[in-house]
Structure 1
C-alpha cells in the first residue's frame, strides 16, 4: 500500500523541511493576501506605454523615481483619454490602483482606474488647457497670420544678453544680406523677469515705424526655461502686434505657445535669419537668370515677327500688287455681264407679259365687239336702249358703231329685210 503524502501546511509558519509549500501554493497564498489589500495612490515615472488597438486596454510600465524598481500597470483606454495631455515616457504621474498578483507567473501588478499628472506632467496639462482656450479664441488661426516683407528696412530682434541666439541671427542675416539693419533689444529670456522684459521690448519695436519684422529668439532649454514664452499675456501681445513676428524659440522639438501665435515659426535662430532676409547671392543669380530668359524671349519674338514679315512679303499679292486688281477686274466684268443678261432677260419677260395683258384688255374692250359689226343705240340722254319699247316712234336716237357715231329716227316699221334663204340644188 502506497504511503500518502502529508497534508500541506495551512500557514507559512507551519511549513517544515519535510513538509514545504510548492511554489504554486506560495503563489496562491500571496495572491490571496494581495487581493485583501485596499486600492491606493502610487507615484512613479512612466517608462513605457503600449496600446493594444481594439482591446480597449493599454499596458504602462511605472518606475520608482529614486530606485531601480518597476511595476506593470494595465489601464483602460477611457482612463488615458481622461488625461489632459497625452502620457509620454518620462512623465511623472500619480495613479489610483488596486494591487493584483498573477499566480501563474508570480508577478505583481497594479490595475489603475485613475491617473493624474504631477510635476512636469501637471505643467504640461496647464499649458494644454491654455492652448485649447487660445485656439478657441482664434489666436492661432492661419487666416490671421501676415506674410513677411521681401526685404525689410529694419529687423527688430529680441534676444538674451550676449546670447548665442543673437549671434546666430545677426551673423547669418548679414551673410545673406550685408546691408540689413537691426534694432536689438537684449532682455531676460528666462526667469521671473522674462515675460515683463520681452513684452516691453515687443511693444517698443512694434511701435517703431521703421521696423518691418520682429524676431523673438532664444536658444534651447528645458520646459521650465521656455515657460515664459507660453505666458498668456505674452502670447496675446504677439497675436495683437501689427508688425509680422517670427518666433525662434528653442530647437525644432520645442513648441512654446508663442510659436503658434507668431506669424512665422522658425525652427532655430539661424532659420529665422534665413526667413527674414533674402540671400543676395541667390537673388543676383535669379536676376541674371531672369535677364537671360528675357533676352532669349525677346530674341525669339523678334525672329518670329521677322519670319512672319518675310512670309508676308513673299506672297504674290505683295510681289505684284496689280495681280489682285486684275483678278478683281475680271470678277467685276463677269458680274456686269451677268447683270446685263439678267436685266435683259427680265425686260424680255416683262415685254411679253405687257403684250399678253394688252391683248387681254383689247379682247375684253367693247370696241372689239363693235369691230365685229355690232352697234350701241342710245337715247339723247345717253341711256342705252335694250328693247324696242324703250323708245317711241319719231324719237331721235344716237348709234355708236366701230367707226364713230351717227343719228337716226325711230320709225314705226323696221326697214330690215332678212336675206332669202339659198335654194337647194337638185
Structure 2
C-alpha cells in the first residue's frame, strides 16, 4: 500500500496530557521559586562579606571568578526563584530547571566559601570537575548495564552485585597475575558471572526479576566477603595488592581551561565509559541490533513473529551488561584502592536511579551519573573546608540527591513496556 508509513514502538507512546492549572512544570516551579527565596534569605544572612572565589586552576592561584559572599548568595537565590517563576509559562522546563538548580547550588556555595577559614575561601573548579567525573565513573558503567538489560525487558537490580564482583575479581586476579589488564578481564568475567545467574533464573526459570536481583546482590556480598576474609586478610601481599592503571594525557585537549586537566588527563576507565556511552547510544538507536533490542523490550510477541529470537537476545544483552558493570567495578580496585568488604556501598542502586533519571537512555544516564557524582564530590569538598554542616549529613548528599531526582524531578516516565515481564514463547 502506498502512503503508509511505519512507526516504532517508542513513537506510539504518548505522554499523558496534564490538565488543570497545576501542571508538573508549575508544581516544580513553585517549589523551585520557594527554594530560591529561602536561599536568598537564609544563605544571604549566613554568608559573610568575604569574597567567594571559584578558581580556574587546582589551587588558589591564577584566574578566578570572584564575588562578595553575601551578594552572591542573595543574587543566585533570586535567580533560582526567577527560574522557578518562569516555569509557570509551561515552557523550557528542562532549561529553567537546570538554571534554577545551578543557581541554588551557587547560592549555597557562596555562603559556604565565604564562611570558610582564611585561606580556604576558594573552590578549585578543576578539582571539582575531576572529582565529579571520577566519582561518576562506576555510576556510568552501572547505569549503562541497566540500559542494556532493561531495554531488553529484564530489570537489573543486581547492578550492585555486578560492580562488587567486578571489583573483587579485578583485585584478586590482578594481584595474582601482577597485571592490571588481566585484572580488568577478570573483572568483566566476574560481572558476567552475576549476569549469567540473573539471565538463567529470570529468563529460563521465570523467577521474579526484582527478587532475583536482590538475591544476587546478597550472594555477591556474602561470597566476596567470605573470600576476602579467607584469602585477602590473611595474605594481603599475595591476594590484595592489585596494580593500578595510571593517567593518560591527550595532547592539546589537556590544555583546555578547567575541562582539559580534569577530563583529558584522566584514566582508562573514564575514557572507556565515555566511549561506551557513545557506542551504546548509536547502537541502540541507529542499528538493527538496537531496533531488535528495543522491540524485545517493548513488545516481545510482535518481535517474535518477525523472526527475532527474543530469549537469545535477552541472554546476550544481560551478559553484555554484566561485562560492562564488571569493568565499572574494576575502577575501584584497579585505579585507586585495594578491595574491602562491601566497598561499593550502595552505588549500584544509585546507578539504577541514574538509569531512571536518565529515562533509559545512555546519554541521559551519563548526565544523571554526573549529577550524582557532583553531589558526592560536593560533600568531599565541604568536608575539606571544615563546613559547619555535620559530616554525617555530607555523606548523605549523593543519596539525598538520588531521592530528590527520582521522586521530584523525573516526573512521569515510562519504562520499556515489557520491562520485568517474563516472555513465554508460544
Q: TM-score, normalized by length of structure 2?
A: 0.18
**Higher relative contact order structure (alpha carbons within 8 Å, sequence separation ≥ 6):** 2
Q: Which is helix-richer, 1 or 2?
A: 2
Q: Which is strand-richer, 1 or 2?
A: 1
